[in-house]
């Protein structure tokens, strides 16, 4: 059975959920094989988890040159690996860096690439959700090699034992791949909350939250539910919450099990980032707010009354 | 400093957008076609670089005839001129083909810095900046929320999930920007009038030495087999808060097993 290369996305020592989704998705096309591209020691903490989700092989490419330069070295190593292994498909996370690696890989191999894929058939036909979640597209890559980037929260990862045989990959990085140097990585405090695009539950605040100070209400509800915090563009533009947490057309696209919109009217720009969520709950004082057209459950009311009461009720039930 | 800004005309993301039933391409005829929002931030950043370091700013667009409206709009913000790659054979070109054409145009212009938006609102692929860098053999500094220039050294703050990375490269380089980088200026009346007289060079595939077989429907290495409208979400239960809204909300979450 042909191999399916899955480029591992990790946050430090933890395999990201999207990687497990890709390993699950890969089984439909061939033998899932994980590819770790990172600095020295990057793979060791990840291999056990990758094996639990079906990785038969784990290709490990570790080098300071990979960690120290933006994207290009990863794409070169991956292109070489594709040529050597002749995989049935290459799956990469649909994150900023994942898409960038995919773009370079496509040029190097003169091969088509599909981004933001949510499912992949055995024959390589990919499903993409486009135009703010309003349109479903079935696409194919011409030739034998689908290169696709997979959107986080597209499927539920299913464990399956894999051999997880580690195979070290030679890393020879050319000068042309070392043009952009990463001189510093700065972590910005976001506490212990899950990452926005990976979270099962997202609680977002909008203009109706009214101030940066009031966002504590949003955070409180999020923490009670183990959720990530998001914000509408109106809220981030007003300085209520950092831009990195913006959900919408010009921000993050999320697709959690549960999305709670607090004081968000539901402009198309916001809906673009969240309307493929499984369940949507909204609290807004305007009964005409378009967010209610999407909401499975809506409360027309003052969020400063409703949210603290909900928080109290959750505490009681826990 | 010679700066090129990539500008893409897209259907307005604030209105309903559709694919055409016949060939699965973006329906531009019924849409309000505008400059891709993120590109306006790239134009603004280019103008700020020009103000600080001198040089010229050129808009580069690949697109059909009507994209010239967006080129004039872009020029009204202040750039010096534009290049419009226009050729009937381009219809149906995918991202890989687009990067081939734009790379050829960039080789001809030979800029120090190529600025562009981090993603488009229609395709949202984020693949183009690195495709261009790969083809041109130059650096890509992508996802910038801040750009600083010292001599020929460019340094960005690249927004990441965890925070940001400081990434640096020498020119020539492709730099893509998010909307956190600046606040684009509005075109002034003077700018709008001046834009009408600014030079716009139109280039065909032949001018660029790109063969028609490598682009368009023939050259595309990806294809859309079919598309359908996602069933619209239907509104569920809506309650007016009469003092128990928070409890009712938690009741719903409990029934759905979230609490």
**Domain for residue B225, yes or no?**
no
Tokens coding A206: 């909008």
Predicted TM-score (pTM) of the model is 0.94
Classified as helix, coil or strand, B82 is: strand
Residue B197's CATH number = 3.40.50.620
In order of A49, A127, A153, A164, B256, the CA distances from A13 in angstroms are 11, 31, 20, 17, 33
Put simply, whether A72 touches B (Cβ < 8 Å) is yes
**Domain for residue B163, yes or no?**
yes
Q: Which helix (H) or strand (E) holds B109?
A: helix B95-109
Q: Which of A11, A107, A136 sits opposite B228 (nearest CB)?
A: A136
The per-residue pLDDT for A190 is 66
A266 is in an annotated binding site: yes
The span from the CA of A75 to the CA of A85, in Å, is 15
Q: What is the pLDDT of residues B193-218, one digit of tens each?
A: 999 999 999 999 999 999 999 999 99
Residues of A in contact with B230 (CB under 8 A): 129, 133-136
Classified as helix, coil or strand, A216 is: helix
Using a 10 angstrom Cβ sphere, with 0-12 exposed, 13-18 middle and 19 or more buried, the burial of residue A172 is exposed
Put simply, whether A313 touches B (Cβ < 8 Å) is yes
Name the average pLDDT for chain B: 95
In order of A208, A232, A270, B163, B178, the CA distances from A252 in angstroms are 20, 10, 10, 14, 12
Q: What is the pLDDT of residues A104-158, one digit of tens each?
A: 999 999 999 999 999 999 999 999 988 888 899 999 999 899 999 999 999 999 9
Residues of B in contact with A100 (CB under 8 A): 126-127, 129-130, 140, 142
* Degrees to nearest 5, angle at CA B240 with B236 and B242: 145
- What one-character DSSP code corresponds to residue B186? P
**Domain for residue B252, yes or no?**
no
Put simply, whether A115 touches B (Cβ < 8 Å) is yes
Percent of chain A clearing pLDDT 70 (strictly above)? 99
* Degrees to nearest 5, angle at CA B144 with B140 and B148: 90
* Degrees to nearest 5, angle at CA B118 with B114 and B122: 115
Using a 10 angstrom Cβ sphere, with 0-12 exposed, 13-18 middle and 19 or more buried, the burial of residue A201 is buried
- Residue of B96, B106, B166 whose CA lies nearest to B138: B106
**Domain for residue B99, yes or no?**
yes
Q: Given the DSSP bridges, would you call strands A135-141 and B222-229 parallel, antiparallel or unpaired?
A: antiparallel
Put simply, whether A67 touches B (Cβ < 8 Å) is no
The span from the CA of A230 to the CA of A224, in Å, is 15
Q: Which helix (H) or strand (E) holds B243?
A: none
Write down the ipTM of this complex. Answer: 0.95
Contact (CB, 8 A) for A90 and A120: no
A233 is in an annotated binding site: yes
Task: State the total domains in chain B.
Answer: 1
| B237·A296 Cβ contact <8 A | yes
**Most B-contacting residue of A10, A17, A67, A100 (CB-CB within 10 A), to test interface:** A100
Question: Which residues span the domain enclosing B200?
Answer: 2-219
* Degrees to nearest 5, angle at CA A197 with A45 and A5: 50
Q: Which helix (H) or strand (E) holds B73?
A: helix B67-76
pLDDT at A74 over 80: yes
Q: What is the pLDDT of residues A189-229, one digit of tens each?
A: 667 899 999 999 999 999 999 999 999 999 999 999 999 99
The per-residue pLDDT for A243 is 87
Shortest Cα distance, chain A CAs vs residue B157, angstroms? 9
**Domain for residue B259, yes or no?**
no
The span from the CA of B99 to the CA of B90, in Å, is 12
- The answer to which of A187-191, B62-66, B155-159, B250-254 has the lowest mean pLDDT is A187-191
The per-residue pLDDT for B232 is 82
* Nearest chain B residue (CA) to A245: B161
Q: Which helix (H) or strand (E) holds B248?
A: helix B245-255
- A201-317: CATH topology: Rossmann fold (3.40.50)
Would you say domain A3-178 falls under CATH 3.40.50.620?
Answer: yes
Q: What is the pLDDT of residues B1-53, one digit of tens each?
A: 999 999 999 999 888 888 998 899 888 887 889 999 999 999 999 999 999 99
CA atoms within 13 A on the CB side of B13: 26
**Domain for residue B257, yes or no?**
no
| A114·B241 Cβ contact <8 A | no
A250 is in an annotated binding site: yes
Q: Which of B13, B139, B247 sits opposite A269 (nearest CB)?
A: B13
The per-residue pLDDT for B69 is 96
The span from the CA of A139 to the CA of B94, in Å, is 12
The per-residue pLDDT for B156 is 98
Angle in degrees, 0-180, between the axes of helices B245-255 and A303-317, rounded to the nearest 10? 50
The per-residue pLDDT for A230 is 97
The per-residue pLDDT for B171 is 98
| Cα-Cα end-to-end distance for chain A | 48
The per-residue pLDDT for B162 is 81
Using a 10 angstrom Cβ sphere, with 0-12 exposed, 13-18 middle and 19 or more buried, the burial of residue A206 is buried
Q: What is the pLDDT of residues B86-110, one digit of tens each?
A: 999 999 999 999 999 999 999 999 9
Intrachain domains A3-178 and A201-317 with the same fold: yes
CA atoms within 13 A on the CB side of A192: 5
Question: Which residues face A202 on adjacent strands?
Answer: A228, A259
Using a 10 angstrom Cβ sphere, with 0-12 exposed, 13-18 middle and 19 or more buried, the burial of residue A86 is exposed
The span from the CA of A287 to the CA of A265, in Å, is 10
| A104·B250 Cβ contact <8 A | no
A232 is in an annotated binding site: yes
Q: Show the DSSP H helices in chain A as ranges.
A: 17-26, 47-52, 64-68, 72-85, 96-109, 215-225, 233-237, 268-271, 303-317
Segment 278-297 of chain A within 8 Å of chain B by CB: 279-281, 283, 287, 292-297
- What one-character DSSP code corresponds to residue A79? H
Q: Which residues contact A188 (CB under 8 A, 6 or more apart)?
A: A242, A244, B162, B163, B164
Contact (CB, 8 A) for A39 and A149: no
Residues of B in contact with A186 (CB under 8 A): 163-166
In chain A, domain spans: 3-178, 201-317
Segment 104-143 of chain B within 8 Å of chain A by CB: 118, 121-131, 133-135, 137-143
Contact (CB, 8 A) for B201 and B84: yes
């Amino acid at each position: 059975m042909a191999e399916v290369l899955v480029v591992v996305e990790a946050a430090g020592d933890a395999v990201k959920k999207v990687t497990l989704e890709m390993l699950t998705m890969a089984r439909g096309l061939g033998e899932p094989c994980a590819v770790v591209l990172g600095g020295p020691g990057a793979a060791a903490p990840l291999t056990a988890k990758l094996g639990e989700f079906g990785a038969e092989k784990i290709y490990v490419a570790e080098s300071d040159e990979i960690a120290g330069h933006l994207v290009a070295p990863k794409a070169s190593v991956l292109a070489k690996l594709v040529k050597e292994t002749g995989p049935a498909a290459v799956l990469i996370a649909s994150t900023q860096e994942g898409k960038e690696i995919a773009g370079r890989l496509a040029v190097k191999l003169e091969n088509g690439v599909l981004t933001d894929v949510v499912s992949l058939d055995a024959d390589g036909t990919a499903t993409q959700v486009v135009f703010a979640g309003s349109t479903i597209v079935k696409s194919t890559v011409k030739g034998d090699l689908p290169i696709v980037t997979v959107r986080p929260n597209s499927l539920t990862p299913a464990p399956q034992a894999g051999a997880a045989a580690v195979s070290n990959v030679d890393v020879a990085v050319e000068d042309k791949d070392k043009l952009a140097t990463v001189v510093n990585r700065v972590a910005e405090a976001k506490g212990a909350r899950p990452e926005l695009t990976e979270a099962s539950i997202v609680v977002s605040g909008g203009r109706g939250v009214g101030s940066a100070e009031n966002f504590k209400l949003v955070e409180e509800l999020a923490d009670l539910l183990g959720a990530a915090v998001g914000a509408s563009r109106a809220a981030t533009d007003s300085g209520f919450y950092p831009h990195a947490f913006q959900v919408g057309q010009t921000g993050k696209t999320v697709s959690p099990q549960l999305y709670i919109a607090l004081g968000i009217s539901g402009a198309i720009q916001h809906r673009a980032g969240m309307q493929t969520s499984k369940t949507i709950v909204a609290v807004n004082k305007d009964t005409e707010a378009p967010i209610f057209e999407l909401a499975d459950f809506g409360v027309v009311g003052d969020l400063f009354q409703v949210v603290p009461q909900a928080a109290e009720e959750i505490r009681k039930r826990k | 400093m010679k700066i090129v800004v990539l500008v893409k005309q897209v259907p307005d993301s604030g209105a309903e957008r559709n694919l055409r039933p016949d060939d699965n391409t973006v329906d531009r005829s019924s849409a309000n076609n505008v400059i891709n929002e993120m590109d306006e931030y790239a134009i603004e950043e280019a103008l700020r670089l020009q103000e600080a370091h001198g040089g010229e700013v050129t808009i580069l667009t690949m697109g059909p005839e009507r994209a010239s409206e967006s080129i004039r709009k872009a020029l009204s913000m202040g750039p010096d001129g534009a290049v419009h790659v226009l050729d009937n054979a381009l219809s149906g070109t995918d991202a890989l083909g687009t990067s081939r054409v734009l790379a050829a145009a960039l080789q001809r212009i030979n800029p120090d810095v190529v600025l562009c938006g981090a993603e488009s609102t229609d395709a949202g692929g984020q693949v183009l900046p690195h495709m261009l860098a790969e083809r041109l053999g130059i650096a890509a500094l992508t996802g910038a929320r801040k750009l600083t220039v010292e001599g020929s050294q460019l340094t960005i703050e690249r927004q990441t999930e965890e925070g940001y990375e400081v990434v640096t490269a020498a020119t020539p380089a492709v730099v893509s920007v998010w909307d956190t980088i600046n606040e684009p200026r509005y075109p002034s009346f003077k700018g709008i009038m001046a834009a009408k007289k600014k030079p716009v060079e139109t280039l065909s595939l032949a001018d660029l030495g790109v063969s028609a077989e490598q682009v368009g429907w023939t050259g595309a290495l990806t294809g859309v087999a079919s598309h359908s409208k996602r069933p619209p979400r239907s509104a569920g239960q809506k309650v007016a808060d009469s003092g128990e809204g928070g409890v009712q909300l938690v009741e719903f979450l409990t029934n759905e097993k979230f609490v």
